[in-house]
Structure 1
Amino acid sequence: MSLEKDIESFVKSVDLELYEIAVVNDGSDTIYRVSVVSNDIEDGKRKGVSLDECVNLTHLISPLLDVTPPLSGDYRLEVGTPGIERKITTIKQFELCLGERVAISLKSKEKLKGTLLKVEGSKIFLDVDGEEVSVDFGEISKAKTYFEW
């Protein structure tokens, strides 16, 4: 199994869902970032992930990385949530954002903002001002969740 699949197994074992794994440089620090979201849905939205859940997951993943380092050189493991406003780059990430507000830029330069209703195959369905709009994943150049204050 790949390291990502092993990490995903640990994430699922604590009833969370892997959002993404990223390597981030912050000044002179290299961070191996594991972002997770809750499986629990409340009022049509995903519940938050607690600090205790992140700490527990860190304790599970850390020994694996000691045996199978993800990077050469020094790095820091960071386990957390992807945040309230985050990039969406895969179909799976769209599925993990159901019920949230999303902003999508299409390759045609058109921009859409609305609530993510569903994902069927490669089709993304949004509620844009009360109207259901579908977009093919291949037409999307950039997408992110957003929070309306």
Structure 2
Amino acid sequence: MSKQHDALAELIEPAIDSLGFELWGIEFFTQGKHSKLRVFIESEAGISLEDCEQVSRQVSSILDVEDPITGEYTLEVSSPGLDRRLFNLAHFQRFTGSKVSLKLNAPFEGKRKFVGRINGIEEDDIVLQVDEHEYLLPITSIEKANIVPEF
């Protein structure tokens, strides 16, 4: 995560925790003139629309007072969903055995995109099984990773 993401997480996580939810991750991006802050929350009991509204009100109040983001933006609060993004090492650990799609910051053995199964974690590396080949990918080399739902 970037320093801005870390600062935002540090600012809003205590409020989210106090409401009984876990901050799963944050995305901030700009499309044209519009910026969007996405906050993903998680709970063992699942996430309802009312949960998202409650967290949105609380986070919005904090962001209005602290004003950590310059310019206008839209705040969106949601559950991570079935195809949830994995933001940190703990997420990869939690989903060991799951199928993932990931994109690297730079090519590894000529490829930037991989779809495989998380076989485990070795220090700060993800062990990814792709067909008959096992890759050891540093967490810092992963630009984006999402669970691939299996039905």
TM more than 0.5 = yes
AA matched with 1:79 = V
Distance 1:117 1:16, change over 3 A: farther
Does the Cα contact within 8 Å between 1:85 and 1:144 map onto a contact in 2? yes
Residues 3 and 68, structure 1, Cα contact 8 Å, conserved in 2? no
Partner of 1:52: 50
Match of 1:43? none
CA distance in 2, matches of 1:49, 1:76: 20
TM-score with structure 2 setting the length: 0.67
Question: Separation in 2 of the partners of 1:139 and 1:77?
Answer: 27
1:113 equivalent to 2:105? Answer no
In 2: Cα distance, 1:75 partner to 1:15 partner: 26
TM-score by length of 1: 0.68
Distance 1:120 1:8 in 2: 28
1:19 is paired with a residue of what secondary structure? strand
Number of aligned residue pairs: give it.
Answer: 140
Distance 2:56 2:11 in 1: 13
The one-letter code sitting in structure 2 at the alignment partner of 1:146 is V
The Cα of 1:65 is off from its aligned counterpart by 0.7
Distance in 2 between residues matched to 1:6 and 1:16, nearest whole Å? 15
Deviations 1:28-80 (A, max 9, x none): 43212111222x2xxxxxx6322111111112111111111232222121111
Give the corresponding residue for 1:63. Answer: 61
Shift of 1:6: 2.3
Cα offset, 1:128, TM superposition:
6.6
Root mean square deviation, CA, Å: 3.4
Distance between the aligned counterparts of 1:96 and 1:145, measured in 2? 11
**Which ranges in structure 2 are unaligned for 5 or more consecutive residues?**
1-5
Q: Is the 8 A contact 1:104 1:140 kept in 2?
A: no
Among 74, 77, 92, which residue is 1:76 paired with?
74
> Could you list the runs of 5+ residues in structure 1 that have no partner in the other structure?
41-46
Match of 1:103 in 2: 101
1:20 maps to 25
